[in-house]
Homo-oligomer: A and B are copies of this chain.
Amino acid sequence: MLIPTYEDVERAHERISAHVHETPVLTSRTFNDLTGAELFFKCENFQKAGVFKARGASNAVFSLSDAQAARGVATHSSGNHGLSLAYAAGRRGIPCHVVMPRTAPEAKKEAVRGYGGTITECEPSTSSREEVFARVVEETGAEFVHPYNDPRVIAGQGTCSKELLAQTGGLDAVIAPIGGGGMVSGTCLTLSSIAPDVEIFAAEPKQADDAWRSLRAGHIIADDAPVTVADGLKVPLKDLTWHFVKNHVSDILLAEEQEIIDAMYLIWQRMKIVVEPSSAVTLATILKNRETFAGKRVGVILTGGNVDLKKLPWM
């Protein structure tokens, strides 16, 4: 297990700065009044490809040697990582192979193709996905970039809270949603190195609470097929992300489905920004854990804004 260091985050930041946005930090009087805290929203919904994952994917793609790069990159993801890797590969002008179930929404396939990615379809089962993915890598020699259990990816995500700290001039706590733990791990890596007094919280849907249960059990617990509106947060921790979560996360806070939807609606309505359900889990948990955050300066990572505008969860 190769654990990235803060030096890797600094190198990642230099490497990717021409390819990703330094996203803005927004504040909201309404939400400060509602929570009693001073909230600083880091808007990764404005990031390239609409999601923070453009950071990690860009770091992975641009750290490849020319020989590696020529063979391209590959991943299996029907969501934001596939999109982000296609974006980053497009910026470097190299092939990107994304294995996706043939049942994935056409809009998601279109988006990957829009960035120049090549889709190879598999059946919607783990065995088919693994078989097809192995064949693609075998045939192309492409470099596998895991959505989160990859030191290059985690170092890339770590650039987000590096910016956030500089933009806010200091915080008491940071909270990010947790699925596989890539963003949370990057946050832990950066903050434990340059601002070790900042408390780190993770926010998770109650209906996909495997990280919450892992933290309490002291080992990784993986759910089989959790169902939640926060569809970016269904995947389990892996060894690298578990390392960071276990060592640096103060607590994982849970939110019910309706609380997530209500928080998402509130963010759209009051902040006038489009965020995906996964991004709203943080505010949902802050609203129900007032005593934990009141009186503090809290960084809130809004992870992404890729949502089907024709199918909103409050409709």
* Interfacial residues, chain A to chain B (CB-CB below 8 A): 24, 26, 45-46, 50, 265, 268-269, 271-275, 305, 309-310, 312, 314-315
**Contact A312/B309 with A272-B273, A273-B272, A274-B273 known, Cβ cut-off 8 Å:** yes
Beyond A46-B272, A272-B275, 13 extra complex contacts between A and B, CB < 8 Å: A24-B24, A45-B272, A46-B271, A50-B272, A268-B274, A269-B274, A269-B309, A273-B273, A274-B274, A309-B312, A309-B314, A310-B315, A315-B315
Q: Is the CB of B265 within 8 A of A309?
A: yes
Minimal beta-carbon separation of A305 from chain B (angstroms) = 4
Give the CA-CA distance A168 to B291 in the complex, in Å: 42
Give the CA-CA distance A275 to B309 in the complex, in Å: 13
Q: Report chain B residues within 8 Å CB of A24.
A: 24
Minimal beta-carbon separation of A268 from chain B (angstroms) = 6
Give the CA-CA distance A272 to B273 in the complex, in Å: 6
The 5 A-B residue pairs whose C-beta atoms are closest, nearest first, are: A272-B305, A272-B274, A45-B272, A273-B273, A268-B274
Instruction: Report 8 cross-chain contacts, Cβ distance below 8 Å, ordered by A residue.
Output: A50-B272, A265-B309, A268-B274, A269-B309, A273-B274, A274-B274, A310-B314, A310-B315
Query: Which of A272, A310, A314 lies at the interface centre, i.e. has the most chain B CB atoms within 10 A of its CB?
Result: A272
Q: Report chain B residues within 8 Å CB of A45.
A: 272
Chain B residue at minimum C-beta to C-beta distance from A306: B272
Give the CA-CA distance A26 to B269 in the complex, in Å: 19
Minimal beta-carbon separation of A134 from chain B (angstroms) = 35
Q: Report chain B residues within 8 Å CB of A265.
A: 309
Give the CA-CA distance A268 to B272 in the complex, in Å: 10
Give the CA-CA distance A314 to B305 in the complex, in Å: 18
Minimal beta-carbon separation of A111 from chain B (angstroms) = 10
Give the CA-CA distance A118 to B315 in the complex, in Å: 31
Give the CA-CA distance A286 to B265 in the complex, in Å: 30
Give the CA-CA distance A183 to B55 in the complex, in Å: 38
Give the CA-CA distance A50 to B314 in the complex, in Å: 21
Q: Report chain B residues within 8 Å CB of A309.
A: 265, 268-269, 312, 314
